[in-house]
Copies of this chain bind each other. A is one copy, B any other.
Amino acid sequence: MSRLCCEDDGMSIAIQDTYAEDFSHCYGCGCLNPHGYQVKTYSSGKTTFTEHVAGPNDLGGGAFAYGGLIASVIDCHSAGSAAIFWMQSNGRAIGAETAPRFVTARLEVDYVKPTPIGPLRMVGALEEIGERKVIVTTDLEAGGEVTARGRAVLVKV
């Protein structure tokens, strides 16, 4: 397939760039939404990762990101992770076909400490996988520290 958003440059492929067009306008991760966060999730073998920069518009109180931003990027990263884990588990090559789209049935976020704005990194791990249901955990790091932890239950559309 040709990817929806990027030319194939031989680098890693973000799973969101291989979503069907109808799912590519999501504010959190749609590669066709120029106003949104454009979260991009990559496989790193047994885990997944996303890098995102929280900016001045994402403030909560003081110099810290608001809780909704943290929940939003964990949510979209989790959906991307679920698609990656499902494809890997089913012997599908990322980038070779349109990725399946998972939607969130339940999201849990523990705000361990305040998250400063600036670069954020999320690492996703697989907790459970079934035919249609995937459970993903996420560590969100800022400044080298885990500031939030997520757990999401996702279902394949």
Residues of chain A at interface, number, CB under 8 A: 39
A29, chain B: closest CB distance, angstroms: 8
Interface residues of A in 1-55 (CB under 8 A from B): 22-23, 25-28, 30, 33, 35-37
Contacts of A60 in B (CB 8 A): 23, 26-28, 103
Q: Which of B35, B69, B114, B157 contacts A27 (CB 8 A)?
A: B69
User: Closest Cβ of chain B: how far from A150's Cβ, in Å?
Assistant: 10
The answer to whether A68 and B66 have CB atoms under 8 Å apart is: no
Measured CB to CB, the residues of A under 8 A from B are: 22-23, 25-28, 30, 33, 35-37, 57-62, 66-69, 71-73, 75-76, 79, 101, 103-111, 114, 157
